[in-house]
Copies of this chain bind each other. A is one copy, B any other.
Amino acid sequence: MSKFRSLFYPNSIAVLGATDNPARIGYVLVKNLREFGYAGRVYPVNPKLSGKELLGYNVYSSVLDIPDNIDLAVIAVSAKASISVLKECALKGVKSAIVLAAGFSESSLEEGKSMEFEIRKISEESGMIIVGPNCLGILSAPKNVCTFPEAEYHGKVGKISAIFQSGSLLASFMSMANIRGAYLNKGVSTGNEAVTTLNDFLEYFVGDPETNVIAMYIEQVRNGKRFIEICRSTTKPLVALKIGKTEIGRLAAKSHTAALAGSIEVWNSVCRYAGIIQANTFEQLYDFSMALASPLKPRGRNVGIVTAPGGPSVIATDMCGEHGLAIPRLSSASIDKLKSMLPPFASMANPIDMTASALEDLSIYHKVLEVVASDQNVDVILVISPLTHHLEIAQTTANIANEIRKPVVVAWTGLLNIVELIKAMRFLGERGIPNYFMPERAVEAIAVMLHQTQLEATKPYAS
């Protein structure tokens, strides 16, 4: 499984098309390597800047002039120039290359198709791994490598690895991960997939010990049989958003990355057969990835709901019913304990409605959560937060979650103090506690976690 080692763990990177114009990608790439703390060797390449320094790195005229082995070449020149530069990389023995330029088979020009054929030939003859063209490249959090121009990457290393047939959507996904705290481990924007495809990265991430969840944005699966085989072979959580629900959506995918999207009916069957968890929206793709990145999975369908506000727990209860989740009665021992903690008008039946009293004294909240979490009838705990006390709720929940061996999911219910809310969300996300705005999304996440438990009971499937 070391196929992509030079791509995701490069010890040396050449940036072809490096420039001193801060508005251009050729500058941003070098700057990102410096700012994000990449510890390997960096070689900007640009004949016009040859001999100068760029952000503290010596600039070379050609990749052939670099007095070092190159693991990864990031190619930020025009489509046409990319071909000649790739040939030099092959000559040099560069192990991996990313071609960013657009204007290949996704364009209407005949020339674009033949250039893409050329890329394939170069890779075949040299054995060089090539990502793209028409892509935004990769993120490798363990190595602090990020080729995305717009990225707020803070060296946070998570457990989700992403394969996206759209660079801009992977940038969106990365921005969500950075705010919500369930971080990425690796990511790749596969572009036109001239050489390396969705399947290649899927196979790699399935075998990657640092990847716990694989998130995919798919416009087209180029070799369906192999895709299904890889998915069936693993128990690792696979979440996928597939485009092409409609005819015009399929046409749009074609003009985007030259992808031939299949019908949604076929896709639904593929997911069932191959054990893939389907996201229906982009937000779900992240919501579900966060749920599955949590180290604990529910062993059964019994949800213990702890709430202060009434209305949201009614919504949560209704949604549990819709997703086949149960809300069991707590054991009599638990109910007795709760009676001693809560005011008489609080509800000890599940959902446990602590009423506002729990906010006056957060130790009550802590104790109640402890009782519910340790109840033998409960497999997973849903905490519904009030509109205030976000950070306190987050801290108390994280403490309890640390003590027990059951998954906890949090639903936030208001935007009253959005700055504090964002902090609380990230705080929990970083600690492996899935959390969402409003109960609908939280219950959906629990259903997805249970789905994964069920998949793992029977996977891997025979091929």
Contact = CB atoms under 8 A, between A and B. Distances in A.
A317 B413 contact: no
A179 B252 CA distance: 33
Interface in A296-313: 309-313
Interface stretch (A266-274, A368-376, A414-422): A414-422
**Most chain B CB within a 10 A radius of its CB, from A310, A311, A322:** A311
A418 B179 contact: yes
Contacts of A283: 437-438, 440-441
Contact of A252 (B180, B253, B317, B360): B317
A387 interface: yes
Interface string A379-415: 0000000111000000000000000000000000111
B172 A312 contact: yes
A12 interface: no
A169 interface: yes
A321 B314 CA distance: 34
A219 interface: yes
Interface string A153-178: 00000000000111111011001101
Contact of A248 (B255, B327, B345, B388): B327
A315 interface: yes
A117 interface: no
Given A107-B345, A166-B311, A283-B437, A171 B414 contact: yes
A243 B318 contact: yes
A52 interface: no
A443 to B, nearest CB: 10
B314 A256 contact: yes
Contact of A321 (B103, B166, B247, B321): B247
Interface in A179-219: 179-180, 217, 219
Contact of A246 (B176, B217, B310, B318): B318
B249 A388 contact: no
Given A314-B252, A347-B255, A246 B281 contact: no
Contacts of A179: 415, 418
Contact of A150 (B152, B167, B243, B387): B387
A149 to B, nearest CB: 8
A351 interface: yes
A23 interface: yes
A263 to B, nearest CB: 12
B314 A166 contact: yes
Contacts of A311: 164-169, 172, 217, 256
A257 B161 CA distance: 45
A320 interface: yes
A245 interface: yes
Interface in A332-359: 345, 347, 349, 351
Nearest to A248: B321
A286 to B, nearest CB: 10
A282 interface: yes
A125 to B, nearest CB: 29
A275 interface: no
A292 interface: no
Contact of A318 (B166, B169, B244, B387): B244
Give the top 6 A-B pairs by smallest Cβ distance, nearest first.
A249-B318, A246-B321, A166-B311, A168-B309, A169-B311, A252-B317
Given A168-B311, A281-B438, 12 more contacts: A151-B416, A166-B312, A169-B315, A171-B414, A176-B415, A178-B416, A245-B322, A246-B320, A246-B322, A248-B318, A253-B318, A282-B440
Interface of A: 23, 102-103, 107, 150-152, 164-169, 171-172, 175-176, 178-180, 217, 219, 243-253, 255-257, 281-283, 309-315, 317-322, 327, 345, 347, 349, 351, 360, 386-388, 413-418, 422, 437-441
